[in-house]
Structure 1
Amino acid sequence: MNIAVFCSAADLDDRYTTPAREFAGLIGRGGHTLVWGGSESGLMKVMADGVQESGGRLVGISVEFLAASARKNADEMVITKDLAERKAQLLARADAVVVMVGGMGTLDEATEILELKKHGMHGKPVVLLNAAGFYDGLKQQLQRMEAEGFLPIPLADLVFFAEDGAGAMAYLEESAGPR
């Protein structure tokens, strides 16, 4: 399975890097491919290192203005012209999507993936990996949107909130299939 992971390129503390390492190991040992932003820094590097060390493949999708920080030893590295093309390529190459902790870019990617799914533009499983309760506020907001009629599909059909990597992988393996 090709698993697109959206996450931060920033250096973060153990409450975020430990779950990332655990999830990366599950990807690699499961024979899966990490499709990610291609960066050699921060949580992106933690994920890539963990997947590669545990036997998985790496497909990076970077962007021209960040190409200098792209990982040199990925199995495949694509350089796109802009962030919109990067997001499209990440989704196109994925069988499933996992959103980990991150900043504005990660939040932008998450909301676009969910909006596309809401409109039936893809049916891929989407997981928010809620390490250290990072996405508790977003979960509450999405629940409110559902309760007040802003979501045309049930929240459970839109996104799964996993508390750890094992929960995320179990959901993906159960949900992913031909899309």
Structure 2
Amino acid sequence: MKKFESVCVYCGSSFGADPVYEAAATRLGQLIAGAGLRLVYGGGAVGLMGTVAKSALDEGGQVTGIIPHFLEKREEMLDDVDDLIITDNMHERKQLMFQKADAFIVLPGGIGTLEEAVEMMTWAQLGRHRKPVLLADVNGFWAPLLELFDHMRHQGFIRPDSEVPYLVATRIEDAIPMLNEAVCGDETDSRIGADDRAPIEKL
């Protein structure tokens, strides 16, 4: 059986307009630590990014932060993590975040968060990995994206033979159980599951 040992969280470096987002990030950090999982994230101390990391650390969790050197000051690198990696560029950062995670959770965020999530979905759609990607649909934040995906299906750009693989959790408490089932459950589903952590090819 495959092991679920680490989860990468993509999220905003801002708090957003609704306090519910920060509350969800705090709760997610607690749940990750409570499940004995290592958090892999973007290395910053600000916004939801810093919130989820600090929350995991406060609960005694293990945290790996990965940040490119040009963002060290802008995102106020969090030095408290037990594993901090500084990369030369964004491509290296994303590659390492992929390699060190068994699954991905996408909290609310901006265009960078969206880009990271969609890239993981694209790589999975193209068969480059089988790690599950879960959208944490806090307060319906990802509803417009899900509607866009449905529109793409109806217009024939997402076909049944090349479906975009993702999970959706409307309750933050459901995220870890859903990913655990995806990683450790039915390995016959080609859309979900962790791989052997080998570096994927750059597309």
User: Is 1:105 matched up with 2:112?
Assistant: yes
Higher-Rg member (1/2) = 2
Contact preservation (8 Å) 1:31, 1:55? no
Moved more, 21-30 or 6-15: 6-15
* 1:150 Cα deviation from its structure 2 partner: 1.9
TM-score with structure 2 length normalisation? 0.83
TM-score with structure 1 length normalisation? 0.93
Aligned to 1:118: 125
Q: Distance in 1 between matches of 2:63 and 2:182?
A: 22
Aligned to 2:84: 77
* 1:20 Cα deviation from its structure 2 partner: 1.3
What is the correspondence of 1:15-26 to structure 2 with a 5 Å cutoff?
15-26=20-31
Aligned to 2:6: 2
Contact preservation (8 Å) 2:125, 2:163? no
Report % sequence identity: 32
Aligned to 2:191: none
Deviations, residues 79-118 of structure 1 (Å, cap 9, x unaligned):
1111121111111111000111111111111111111110
Out of 37, 41, 53, the position equivalent to 1:36 is 41
Contact preservation (8 Å) 1:101, 1:131? yes
Aligned to 2:140: 133
Q: Distance in 1 between matches of 2:99 and 2:24?
A: 26
Aligned to 1:14: 19
Aligned to 1:87: 94
Contact preservation (8 Å) 1:128, 1:135? yes
* 1:55 Cα deviation from its structure 2 partner: 2.0
Aligned length: 177
SS at match of 2:162: coil
* 1:11 Cα deviation from its structure 2 partner: 2.7
RMSD of aligned C-alpha atoms? 1.3
The gaps in structure 1 that reach 5 residues or longer are none
Q: Distance in 2 between matches of 1:129 and 1:104?
A: 16
* 1:72 Cα deviation from its structure 2 partner: 0.6
- Structure number with higher helix proportion: 1
Deviations, residues 118-163 of structure 1 (Å, cap 9, x unaligned):
00111001001111111000001112223333224334xx001111
Out of 33, 49, 52, the position equivalent to 2:57 is 52
Aligned to 2:199: none
